[in-house]
C-alpha cells in the first residue's frame, strides 16, 4: 500500500489556538460538521426503532431501498433507480475509503480523482494498494484529454457539488465523463452529498425553498446516462441535508450488478447500517420540509458571510453549491504562515489562514485538498447563526482598519 497521507488537521492547531484567544471566542469554520438539530421526524423514527434485537440486513430493508429510489425520482430527477441497486452505507466516508478495495482494485490499478478534492478519494485508492491519479480534466469543461491514455484506470471519482470548491458539473460534462468511461471500461463513482444545497437560483434572494429536482444533475440522471446505469454509482449522504452526521447514514445507488459485488463483500465483513438508523433514514428520505428549512438556514449564513468577505476584498470562486465558500485574495501571493512556520505550512492559503486566525476565525487551507488549492481557503457554513454573526462583525471591523 502507498503510505497514507499525514492527517493534516493537526497542523491547524497553532492557528486554532491563536483564533481561540480572540476576546469574543473562536469562530470555527474549518470543518463541515452540522450544528443544527436533527429533525424531530428523524429522531422519532430512530426512537421508535429502539428495540433492535436482531441483526440488520446489510442490503438495507426493502422499505429503505424503495425510499431511496422514490427520493431519486422526486428530488433528483432520476425516475429509474432500481431498488435492487441500492445499498446503505455507514456514512459515505466509509464507502469512499473502501470502494476501490470492494471493487477489487489493487496494485497496478489507477483510481482517478479531481485534483482539488475531499481527501478520502485518495485515501481509498491507497488503502486498496492502487495508485491515485489527480485529474484536472474532471472539472474542466473539456473531455479529459489526459485520461484517455490511462488503460489501467479502474475507477473514476467525480464530486459535484464539489467539496471544497462548490463547483457543479453540468449535464454535458457528466455525459462526456460517462461516455468516456464506458468506452474504456471504467467505473464512475459520483459523490453527490451536497446536491440539495444549490445556491445558483438565490444568489440575490436568500431563503428560497428547495431547488428544482435535478438542478444539480446526478450521474444517474437520464440526461447524463441515457437511462443506463451500467458501470455507474451515485454516492449520497444524509449527514448534511438532514443533520444526521452522528447517525452515519448514507447510501450508494446505481448499477445493480456493481452494488451486488459490494454487497457480497460487505455481508462477509459486517459492514452494515444499524436497523434503527435505517428506519431513521426512511423517515428522513420521505420528508422534504426539514431539508427546505435547513437550506434556508445555510442560505442565510452563506449570504451574510459572502457579503462580509467581498466587502473587505476577498474573492469567492465557484461556491455555487454546497456548504463551503472557496475564498482567495487577489495580489496576495505572500508565502504566509510566518517565519517560524514549517515548510508544509507556507503558501498563500496559509497566509489567509493566518490573517483570519487573527480575527478569531478558523478556516481550512486549500492545500488540504490538493496542491492545486494552495491559493484558497475553505470556509464552512456549518456554524450557528450567533457564530456566523460574530464572524461577520469581525470582518466588517477589519474592513474599517480595526
Ligand X SMILES: Cc1ncc(COP(=O)(O)O)c(C=O)c1O
Q: Which residues bind ligand X (CB under 6 A)?
A: 32, 91-93, 96, 118, 159, 163, 191, 193, 237, 239, 245, 250
Q: 3-state DSSP call for residue 178?
A: helix
147 and 153 Cβ atoms separated by less than 8 Å: yes
Sort strands 250-254 and 361-362 into parallel, antiparallel or unpaired: unpaired
Nearer to ligand X, 159 or 367 (CB): 159
- 362: left (phi > 0), else alpha (psi -120 to 50), else beta? beta
Q: Is 99 exposed, middle or buried (0-12, 13-18, 19+ CB in 10 A)?
A: buried
**CB 245, min distance to ligand X, A:** 5
**CB 51, min distance to ligand X, A:** 26
Nearer to ligand X, 32 or 336 (CB): 32
Nearer to ligand X, 116 or 186 (CB): 116
**CB 250, min distance to ligand X, A:** 4
Nearer to ligand X, 247 or 398 (CB): 247
**CB 193, min distance to ligand X, A:** 5
CA angle, corner 230, sides to 172 and 271, nearest 5? Answer: 115
DSSP labels, 238-262: STTTTT-GGG--EEEEE-HHHHHHH
| Residues 217, 72: Cα–Cα separation, whole Å | 11
- Phi, psi torsion values for 250, nearest 5 degrees: -155, 175
**CB 74, min distance to ligand X, A:** 21
Which residues, 6 or more positions from 307, have their beta carbon under 8 angstroms from its beta carbon?
Answer: none
**CB 392, min distance to ligand X, A:** 24
Instruction: Please report which residue ranges of 58-204 form alpha helices under DSSP H.
Output: 62-75, 92-102, 120-128, 171-184
| Residues 18, 350: Cα–Cα separation, whole Å | 14
**CB 94, min distance to ligand X, A:** 7
Looking at the DSSP bridge assignments, the partners of residue 132 are: 111
**CB 22, min distance to ligand X, A:** 26
Nearer to ligand X, 280 or 308 (CB): 280
Nearer to ligand X, 108 or 246 (CB): 246
| Helix (H), strand (E) at residue 155 | strand 153-159
Nearer to ligand X, 19 or 250 (CB): 250
Nearer to ligand X, 317 or 358 (CB): 317
Strands (E), 198-305: 232-237, 250-254
Amino acid at each position: 500500500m502507498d503510505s497514507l497521507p499525514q492527517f493534516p488537521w493537526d497542523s491547524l492547531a497553532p492557528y486554532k489556538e491563536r483564533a481561540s484567544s480572540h476576546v469574543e471566542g473562536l469562530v470555527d469554520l474549518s470543518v463541515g460538521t452540522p450544528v443544527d438539530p436533527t429533525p424531530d421526524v428523524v429522531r422519532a423514527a430512530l426512537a421508535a426503532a429502539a428495540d433492535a434485537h436482531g441483526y440488520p440486513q446489510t442490503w438495507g430493508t426493502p422499505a429503505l431501498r424503495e425510499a431511496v429510489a422514490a427520493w431519486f425520482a422526486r428530488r433528483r430527477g432520476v425516475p429509474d433507480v432500481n431498488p435492487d441497486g441500492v445499498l446503505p452505507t455507514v456514512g459515505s466516508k466509509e464507502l469512499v475509503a473502501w470502494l476501490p478495495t470492494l471493487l477489487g482494485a489493487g496494485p497496478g490499478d489507477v483510481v482517478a480523482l479531481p485534483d482539488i478534492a475531499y481527501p478520502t478519494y485518495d485515501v481509498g485508492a491507497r488503502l486498496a494498494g492502487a495508485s491515485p491519479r489527480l485529474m484536472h480534466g474532471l472539472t474542466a469543461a473539456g473531455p479529459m484529454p489526459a485520461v484517455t491514455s490511462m488503460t489501467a484506470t479502474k475507477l473514476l471519482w467525480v464530486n459535484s457539488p464539489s467539496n471544497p470548491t462548490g463547483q457543479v458539473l453540468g449535464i454535458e460534462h457528466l455525459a462526456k465523463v460517462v461516455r468516456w468511461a464506458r468506452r474504456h471500461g471504467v467505473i464512475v463513482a459520483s459523490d453527490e452529498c451536497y446536491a440539495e444545497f444549490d445556491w445558483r437560483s438565490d444568489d440575490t434572494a436568500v431563503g428560497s425553498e428547495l431547488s428544482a429536482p435535478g438542478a444539480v444533475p446526478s450521474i444517474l440522471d437520464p440526461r447524463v446516462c441515457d437511462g443506463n446505469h451500467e458501470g455507474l454509482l451515485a454516492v449520497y449522504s444524509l449527514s448534511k441535508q438532514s443533520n444526521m452526521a452522528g447517525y452515519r447514514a448514507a447510501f450508494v445507488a446505481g448499477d445493480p450488478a456493481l452494488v451486488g459485488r459490494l454487497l457480497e463483500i460487505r455481508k462477509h465483513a459486517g459492514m452494515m447500517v444499524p436497523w434503527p438508523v435505517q428506519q431513521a433514514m426512511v423517515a428522513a428520505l420521505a420528508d422534504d420540509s426539514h431539508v427546505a428549512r435547513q437550506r434556508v438556514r445555510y442560505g442565510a449564513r452563506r449570504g451574510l458571510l459572502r457579503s462580509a468577505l467581498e466587502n473587505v476584498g476577498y474573492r469567492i470562486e465557484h461556491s455555487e453549491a454546497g456548504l463551503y465558500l472557496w475564498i482567495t485574495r487577489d495580489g496576495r501571493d505572500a508565502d504566509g504562515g510566518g517565519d517560524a512556520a514549517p515548510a508544509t505550512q507556507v503558501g498563500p492559503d496559509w497566509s489567509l489562514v493566518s490573517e483570519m486566525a487573527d480575527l478569531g476565525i478558523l478556516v481550512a487551507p486549500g492545500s488540504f485538498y490538493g496542491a492545486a488549492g494552495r491559493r484558497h481557503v475553505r470556509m464552512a457554513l456549518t456554524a450557528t447563526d450567533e457564530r456566523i454573526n460574530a464572524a461577520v462583525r469581525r470582518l466588517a471591523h477589519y474592513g474599517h482598519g480595526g
